[in-house]
Copies of this chain bind each other. A is one copy, B any other.
Amino acid sequence: MSLIVQKYGGTSVGSVDRIQNVAAKIKEQWSQGHKLVVVVSARSGVTNDLIARAKALSKLPDEREMDVLMSLGEQETIALTVMALHAIGVPAISRTGAQAGIFTDDIHTRARITRISGGDLLQRLEEGKVVVVAGFQGVTEQGEVTTLGRGGSDLTAIAVAASIKADLCQIFTDVDGVYTADPRIVLNAKKMHEISYEEMLELASSGSKVMQSRSVEFAQKYNVPFEVRSSFNDLPGTLVKAIDKTLEDAAIAGVALDRLQTRVTVNDLPDNPQAIAALFDDLGEAGLSVDMIIKNLGNGGKSNLTFSVTTDQYCRVEKVVGDTLKKLGSGSVRSAGEISKLSIVGVGMISHPGVAGTLFKALASVGINSELITTSEIKISIALDPAKADAAVRAVHTAFGLDKA
């Protein structure tokens, strides 16, 4: 008999039928004697409807009031899910974020969890009830409703699992688990049975959109093992947990691809640390993050800088950098076109010499000679011509032996 936290996303609870499916899945576990806390999202589409109504009244609605509004979707789902459970004979009770004691700071629409009291969750579980908790929402110490921003329901599930010391946290989603590469690109990509928090984090920040980094970071910090699995079949998913590096066999765990990056080139920047610091400070203050930076010395005491940003941020980046260059009195900024970013990730990488050699040989075999490269302890990322990206992913996947089970 285990204590399990399950999370179902917006697609999984998108209609009355699907809520009934989720209820049936819950009943199966509950019938085996497990204690269950279920975290649910808003029905897909509901939150967007609410936002549309707000925008009709105000171009820039107050964020505090947006939270009052956006928390409604999850509140609807908890009540409906409990009703569906009652209808099939499972005792259950709903809990809003506030009732579950999910306390946050007061940064509305993207609040951070500060503590979890858990409310009366353990007591209700002891009574034999399934407790259905609203994801994505919390409450400040002053009693104001907050929402947690993107990926908030995953975060709720992992935070609740940490606070009640659950044996397992299951994230039910619309993918089967975490793969060695995108199965739409690499036909024989394999679902990983397990993966470390570090690898999951690098994958999350490398275009593998299974989960937001913040949820994985939270799980790592509080050592909450969690499973990513599909709500539409009964196959086991991928278990994300702490893994001792020295026990690792394989050099790399997977290959990720991020298609939507733009390469930015800044020419004739004054070649001193203050100028470069000013440029990245201004970008940071505007909330814009850059990736894969390289610097070359130019002519006449100037330097040239190249870095990548996500394509949707390019216009703002151009404006901010342009303003900085005006202050500095020198330099020009332009887009050097779109790139894709291929990353290989693996905690074993550091203890396996020759990883970079294998990578570049594989890339060379499909005619790629990249100039933009970044590395971390467990990741190497390369900027690529988007036209060659799929072939590169396949070549790298094969070169590291990931095609075999």
Chain A positions within 8 Å of B, measured between CB atoms, are: 16, 19-20, 50, 53-54, 56-59, 61-62, 64-66, 68-69, 71-72, 75-76, 78-80, 82-84, 86-87, 93-94, 96, 98-99, 119, 143-145
Contact = CB atoms under 8 A, between A and B. Distances in A.
Nearest to A66: B79
Given A57-B16, A57-B19, A83 B65 contact: yes
Nearest to A69: B79
Contacts of A80: 53-54, 57, 69
B83 A76 contact: no
Contacts of A83: 54, 57-58, 61-62, 65
Nearest to A16: B56
A57 B99 contact: no
Contacts of A93: 64
Q: Which of A19, A62, A84 has the most chain B CB atoms closer than 10 A to its own CB? A: A62
Given A53-B16, A94-B65, A143-B99, A58 B75 contact: no
Copies of this chain, count: 2
Given A16-B53, A53-B16, A68-B94, A61 B86 contact: yes
Contacts of A64: 93-94
A85 to B, nearest CB: 9
Contacts of A119: 143
Top 7 closest pairs, chain A to chain B, by CB: A69-B79, A68-B79, A58-B83, A58-B87, A65-B79, A57-B83, A61-B83
Contacts of A69: 75-76, 79-80
A102 to B, nearest CB: 13
Contact of A58 (B76, B86, B98): B86
Contacts of A86: 58, 61-62, 65
Contacts of A145: 96
A48 to B, nearest CB: 14
Contacts of A66: 79
A56 B43 CA distance: 15
A84 B58 CA distance: 7
A78 B53 CA distance: 13
A96 B72 CA distance: 12
B62 A50 contact: no
Contacts of A84: 57-58
16 contacts: A16-B56, A16-B57, A19-B57, A20-B57, A58-B83, A61-B83, A62-B82, A62-B83, A62-B86, A65-B79, A66-B79, A68-B75, A69-B76, A69-B79, A75-B75, A96-B145
Contacts of A19: 57
A248 to B, nearest CB: 47
A220 B320 CA distance: 63
